[in-house]
Amino acid sequence: MARICLSLLANTLSENQRILSESSCSFAELRIDYLEPSEWSGIPQFAKDFSGDLILTCRKVCDGGLWPDDQDAKREELLLSALQGGFSFVDLEENFESSKLVAAAKSQNTKIIRSFHDFQTVPADLESRLRAMKQKGDLVKAAVMPQGMADVITLFEIGMNWTDRNAADESSLILLGMGDYGVPTRILAERMNSYLTFCSAKGKSAAPGHMNYQTLHELYRVDQIEKDWDIFAIIGNPVLHTRSPEIHNKGLQNIGRKGVYVPFTVDDVPLYFDLARKLSIQGFSVTVPHKEAVIEHLVKVDDGVKAVGACNTVLYRDGAWEGVNTDIIGFLRPLENLGEIKKHPQGLKGFRTAVLGAGGAARSAVYALVSKKCDVTIFNRTLEKAESLASEMGCQVGSLKALRKGNEKPFDIIVQTTSAGMEGPYEKMNPLDTYSYEGSEVVYDIIYIPEETLFMKDALQAGCSVLGGWPMLVEQGRAQFLLFTGEELPA
Ligand code: ATR
């Protein structure tokens, strides 16, 4: 089990005290390089008053801290006086030679963490360097910057091979990857044999990729994960914006399952599959841009994956990977559950439906609608793409320009699958801004960030029945959860 250590980064001790009491964290690192000089004299008392474990750290600018690089003597002096408070650990960088500090730490029963930071890369000699550092400290720490899946694998391999433990069978290693690629190394600190993982107070990050205590403790349960926990994942690039970890981790917790669902930013799908085997990942969700690329790694796929050519769910079954597409059912369920559709005896059959867009997301939606015998017309900025999708799925094509001007017969359902309206540069766009609604349409935007797009706002104002992408995300996740765990996602 790994601990969660809260980095205290305020410039006053009283603010740090407030942050500590808010988080209920019993393991912290006091970054005295952040403190105002007027606070220095209060450091020993701060340490005495704290009932948990405290790391004393004074990080220099060259190592990612605030302490001036040219004031080593003053730093040594400050650390020596601070140590009198009785810290559990003191962090001394790999190359910080001070016999006085080492002696003072020993006399206070303070364990020495030897550390180094690399904000650019994962050094090729990382493992041998850590082993060398171990000669000079009780624990060794490396915080490095993985540049992709290959580096993430290196980190997990070093961690999983680390066998050096103290008398209490605790690992002597603290190893973590910074940045987006490093996130799984922070959450799966236990698998990394990492003694602890760091977090920040809400809104205050000490290093790229730092998550806050609530996220690590409540959502990912990092300080409860044991060797026998199941690991599930989501892969994508980018992936950290997705809300799937909320759905799955809360679900796992609510059914009392020892399991965690971890986001992996993936730049190389084959390498990810190697890591997934090493970590015994039981199943994972797949998001943009990897829904097609995973397919060649699967021994079996369901009809949805075959028809759409995209797979959002991968399961490890009988020693091999299998693929399922739950985007289709995820798209259909919210629609079929609407009162307007439910009251129709034949469900979606025969509804005149316009689909905006002809990309990957449109493929699932069109396939789902056609499978329910909807009367589907595709509208897309690039007509040829609409034509190609329509001929493949057996439906019609319309002119987006004509639809926008209101020169098309009214539709019962309008589905929006383009990127227009999505958080970021497209957020202010509405692909049907000039459309005049009857008010009786069902309008469905599969975007879920923001929760309400301009397209949805317009349709709501016109009195339409409006669906956003969040219910779809929940429903595709619900179907995945059942496949991952064999149990229903609790309400
Ligand atoms: P996804 O997998 O999310 O569907 P995609 O395959 O890249 O992503 O498809 C994006 C869709 O959004 C396409 O239909 C695209 O239209 P084009 O085929 O003409 O590129 C559509 N799209 C993207 N930006 C758009 C915009 N600003 N206005 C209208 N349609 C847009």
Q: Please say whether the beta carbons of 144 and 155 come within 8 A.
A: yes
Give per-residue burial for 215-253: e unless 16+ CB within 10 Å, then b: bbbebbbbbebeeebbbbbbbbbebeebebbebbbebbb
**Sorting pLDDT into bands at 50, 70 and 90, what band is 203?**
confident
Whether the CB of 420 sits within 6 Å of ligand 1: yes
Lowest mean pLDDT among 153-157, 208-212, 393-397, 459-463: 208-212
pLDDT of 408 reads: 86
What is the number of the ligand 1 atom nearest to the C-alpha of 358? Answer: 14
Q: What region, left, alpha or beta, does residue 183 occupy, with left being phi > 0 and alpha being psi -120 to 50 degrees?
A: alpha
Q: How far apart are CA 108 and CA 9, in angstroms?
A: 24
Burial (CB count within 10 angstroms: exposed 0-12, middle 13-18, buried 19+), residue 129: middle
Would the pLDDT of 204 be above 90? no
Q: In 3D, which of 382, 391, 330 has the Cα closest to residue 361? A: 330
The residue-averaged pLDDT of 190-208 equals 86
DSSP 179-224: HHHHHHHHHTTTTTTBSEEEEE-TT--SSTT-EEHHIIIIIS-TTT
Find the 361 Cα to ligand 1 centroid distance in Å: 9
pLDDT (tens digit per residue) in 276-296: 999 999 999 999 999 999 999
Residue 429 beta carbon below 6 angstroms from any ligand 1 atom: yes
* Range 45-49 average pLDDT: 97
pTM of the full predicted structure? 0.94
Query: What does the pLDDT read at residue 209?
Result: 73
What is the structure's pLDDT at 274? 98
Average pLDDT over residues 429-458: 95
Residue 199 tokens, joined: 């977090």
And the tokens for 350?
């025969």
Q: Which atom of ligand 1 is nearest to the CA of 382?
A: 19
pLDDT, averaged across the chain: 96
* pLDDT grade for 26, boundaries at 50, 70 and 90: very high
Give 467's strand partners.
444
Is residue 206's pLDDT more than 80?
Answer: no
Residue 251, pLDDT score: 98
Shortest-distance atom of ligand 1 to CA 418: 12
CA of 408 to the centre of ligand 1 (A): 21
Return the half-sphere exposure (C-beta side, CA atoms, 13 A cut-off) of residue 451: 4
Kindly state the percentage of the chain with pLDDT values over 90: 94
pLDDT digits (tens, 9 = 90+) for 298-308: 999 999 999 99
* 175 secondary structure, DSSP code: E
Cα 328 to middle of ligand 1, angstroms: 19
Please report the pLDDT score of residue 201 as a whole number: 87
Write the pLDDT tens digit of every residue in 51-93. Answer: 999 999 999 999 999 999 999 999 999 999 999 999 999 999 9
Shortest-distance Cα residue to atom 18 of ligand 1: 382
